[in-house]
Amino acid sequence: MIKKKTENSLGFFNGINTFVGDSTILRGDFEVNGPLRIDGKFKGSIISNSMVYIGKKSISECVILAKSATIGGTIKGDIYAENSLIVLKSAEIIGNIYTTSINMDDGVVFDGKCQILTKDQIRELMDKIKKQIS
């Protein structure tokens, strides 16, 4: 029997690796191998080799380095997305965006600069930022 990958309501395949609930306040540094969803308050850094989802009620002061990201809440800090970044209309971003592809809904609050880079450029930049964080 071949097991089919199923997509959950968040658009993730095979579940979320790490979840920070909406009543949680967390400070620190995440380095995860798999999808991460934050709905609470977070301050620190996120390094993920997969998808990062920041929920609509989330308030985060952080730097995000991820393969892909979807932002629905408030982020104060820079976002580095190697493959793609989706910014929902409920989002507020105070910081810079570096990615290879972006989809930003109407109504987003954004204060910063946005750079669309090649795959090689974003990988090089992310490697540099990872060394600074570590």
pLDDT tens-digit profile, the chain (134 residues): 443 334 444 444 445 555 566 666 778 898 998 889 999 999 999 999 999 999 999 999 999 999 999 999 999 999 999 999 999 999 999 999 999 999 999 999 999 999 999 999 999 999 999 999 87
Sign for the pseudo-dihedral over CA of 125, 123, 69, 28: negative
CB-based contacts of 91: which residues, under 8 Å, 6+ apart?
Answer: 54, 71, 72, 73, 74, 75, 105, 108, 109, 110
What is d(CA 98, CA 79) in angstroms, rounded to the nearest whole number?
A: 6
